[in-house]
Amino acid sequence: MTIDKLPSGSYRIRLTEDGRSYSMTVPYKPSDREAYKLIRAKIDNGNSDISFDEAYKRYVDAKSNVLSPSTLRGYNTIYRNLPKWILKTDISKIDDYTMQKLVNDYSKTHAAKSTCNAYSLVLSVIKLFYPSAHISATLPQKRRVTSYMPTYDDVKRLLDYAVGSDYHTVLSLAALSLRCSEACALTLDDLSEDNKITINKALIRSEAGYVLKPTPKTDASYRTLTIPEELADEIRHQGYIYNGYPNQINKYLHRALSALDIPYFSIHKLRHFFCSYAHDKGYSDAVVQSVGGWSPSSDIMRRIYRHGMNIDEAKQSLANDFDFF
């Protein structure tokens, strides 16, 4: 067995056994004992000639029943956008240099967040076969994108505009904290006589189209909400909550906002609106978390609070309070 340092700074371990040569690269200098253990595991696992393409297919197959359809769809989207050269590369030969080249190539045509997601997926595939692999790369810095946060007046105008359309109820529920996937999965059976709605499933997009997932996004997403009586009566009168697919809602929303001359925002921003508005009205974190289906340990809600309503007024008030300079 030999251990050679490569120009990239990584180390190549070589071993000849039964007339066949095996090699693998690690980003650090291993001891003789560790090197033998690594190359031995590689031989025993039979991964010496597996391309990343084949490794990815095995990875997805091994997790096909534990990942949601939307997650698998996201993985496959990344896979289809990976450079062809990485698909042909044996996973045993992917080292720091190779990973850095992948990140560099992928970032030429993709945003920083997408590049980081691709890096994470590639690393996860490799670690399934080589758990002890230590591969890293410098990732592009994510840029904070500030999207438009609807105001109370924006939401009121939008809902008034949508009255009488097929989208009024689903937009109203979104403003009451429901995710689009949750609202689209609701049926009349989920609405009780005392105007409570039970969230226990989701309509999500998969490779084959939209499918009904018998569970919501997280355990905390299981919840029961009380909705305004007027909205409950509207749902009962029309006989359904929403008959359509999530993408149709955003298309309608785009047209409505254009007609109302309101800056564009996605339906998910109505969930952000709920969080900020409820917070500004004085409801406790525990209440907002419970209604919105956020886990108490999650920092997502707190980050959403940064979109707080009436920011300009708050800034002016803060300036007035610090007038002693």
* Domain-located, residue 220: yes
Half-sphere exposure of 264 (CA within 13 A, CB side): 8
Q: Does position 98 have pLDDT exceeding 80, yes or no?
A: yes
Task: For residue 171, tell me if it sits in a domain.
Answer: yes
Q: Compute the distance between CA of residue 115 and CA of residue 242 in angstroms, rounded to an integer.
A: 35
Assign 202 to helix, strand or coil: strand
Domain shared by 97 and 183, yes or no: no
Q: Using the predicted structure, report yes or no on whether residue 155 has a pLDDT greater than 70.
A: yes
**Residue 290's CATH number:** 1.10.443.10
pLDDT over 90 at 277, yes or no? no
> End of a domain among 94, 129, 164?
129
* 288-317 as b/e: b if 16+ CB within 10 A: bbbbbbbeeeeeebeebeebebeeeeeeee
DSSP state of 91: G
Tally: H helices and E strands in the chain: 15, 7
Q: How far from 180 is each of 36, 242, 268, 283, CA to CA, in Å?
A: 52, 11, 7, 23
Q: What is the token pair recorded at 218?
A: 């997280």
pLDDT higher than threshold 90 for residue 281 = no
Separation of alpha carbons 137 and 24, rounded Å: 18
Residues 296 and 223 in one domain: yes
Q: What is the mean pLDDT of the chain?
A: 86
Q: Partners of 26 in the beta sheet?
A: 11
Question: 192 and 110 in one domain?
Answer: no
- Clarify whether residues 211 and 295 are in a common domain: yes
- Residue 142 falls within a domain, yes or no? no
pLDDT at 138: 95
Same domain assignment for residues 163 and 123: no
Same domain membership, residue 100 and residue 14: yes
Range 206-221 average pLDDT: 86
Segment (H or E) for 197: strand 196-199
Domain stops at, among 129, 164, 189:
129
Does residue 321 sit within a domain? no
Least confident of 23-37, 55-69, 155-169, 305-319: 305-319
Domain residues for the domain of 210 are 152-315
For Cα atoms 290, 295, 298, give the angle at the middle one, nearest 5 degrees.
130
Q: How confident is the model at residue 304 (pLDDT cuts 50, 70, 90)?
A: low
145 lies in some domain: no
Are residue 107 and residue 182 in the same domain, yes or no?
no
d(CA 94, CA 119): 12
> In this structure, are residues 189 and 255 in contact, taking their beta carbons and an 8 Å threshold?
no
How many structural domains comprise the chain? 2
Is 104 in the same domain as 33?
Answer: yes
pLDDT at 305 over 70: no
Question: Does the pLDDT value for residue 3 go beyond 70?
Answer: yes
Task: State pLDDT tens for residues 237-273.
Answer: 999 999 988 889 999 999 999 999 999 999 999 999 9
Q: Are residues 34 and 164 in the same domain?
A: no
Same domain for 118 and 181, yes or no, is no
Question: Is 70 exceeded by the pLDDT of residue 324?
Answer: no
34 plus 156 within the same structural domain: no
pLDDT at 319: 56
pLDDT score for 35: 86
Instruction: Let me know whether 175 and 120 are in one domain.
Output: no
Residue 325 is predicted with a pLDDT of 38
Distances 27 to 8, 23, 30, 49, 67 between C-alpha atoms, Å: 9, 14, 9, 20, 30
Q: How far are the Cα atoms of 50, 99, 115, 197, 208 from residue 87, in angstroms, in the given order? A: 10, 12, 16, 47, 24
